[in-house]
Structure 1
């Protein structure tokens, strides 16, 4: 059995935060196709092009991307990364770490590879994108970042990478 944890807007697409799947030995691509088939009618669209997918806490792009095999007892976290908002930006320091939050306009060209390209180009930065609908305000974002940074410092991240940890906490 595969456990699928749905975060953010994906929860709204399936009207639940968890799906238990009686299948195994699927690729992530096959899993996504199956999810599209079982998505309830009259729910939000399930945007399959803007997803961060973690298998047992590891970003699938660090594995074999959409060809990653998912097996019995695996936990697959599906996190939408669609964005929108204004051009405001906030810079601050938290736990001796400089941070910046800014809104991005929804752009059809925005995709997971864009984030990976930025991360490759700026390896000294931790870069993450979060749908602005899931941020309650600046204090909320600062608190989540603080918790993730504290967890990183104490080796208690919810996943192997801080970028994924941040998403899981929203």
Structure 2
């Protein structure tokens, strides 16, 4: 099982703080696509508007969208706040 921890605005939009994905393996892109479809987050989950960590490590260091996530991993997604 993969744990997806939602923080910030994306948590409010999804209505959940954690999602448990019953998969042994997935890429980050697959997880993002799943969340966008399942929770209607297309407008909030664009790559330039979120920060993603896998087990506390920035996903860009681990391969970005192609990063491999395995059962037992924790994916944290945080909406980036913009202001002016």
TM-score by length of 2: 0.88
Question: How do 1:3-152 and structure 2 match up within 5 A?
Answer: 3-39=3-39, 45-49=43-47, 50-85=49-84
Measured after TM superposition, the shift of residue 46 of structure 1 is: 2.4
Secondary structure of the 1:30 match is helix
Query: How has the CA–CA distance of structure 1 residues 47 and 82 changed in structure 2, closer, same or farther, with 3 Å as cutoff?
Result: farther
Separation of aligned partners in 1, 2:24 and 2:10: 21
Name the Cα RMSD after superposition. 1.8
Question: How do 1:147-166 and structure 2 match up within 5 A?
Answer: none
Separation of aligned partners in 2, 1:58 and 1:75: 10
Query: Which structure carries more strand by proportion?
Result: 2
TM-score by length of 1: 0.46
Measured after TM superposition, the shift of residue 61 of structure 1 is: 0.7
Q: Larger Cα Rg: Structure 1 or Structure 2?
A: 1
Measured after TM superposition, the shift of residue 14 of structure 1 is: 0.6
Query: How many aligned residue pairs are there?
Result: 83
> Which residue number in structure 2 is paired with residue 96 of structure 1?
none
Separation of aligned partners in 2, 1:57 and 1:19: 17
Point out where structure 1 has 5 or more consecutive residues left out of the alignment: 86-170
Secondary structure of the 1:13 match is helix
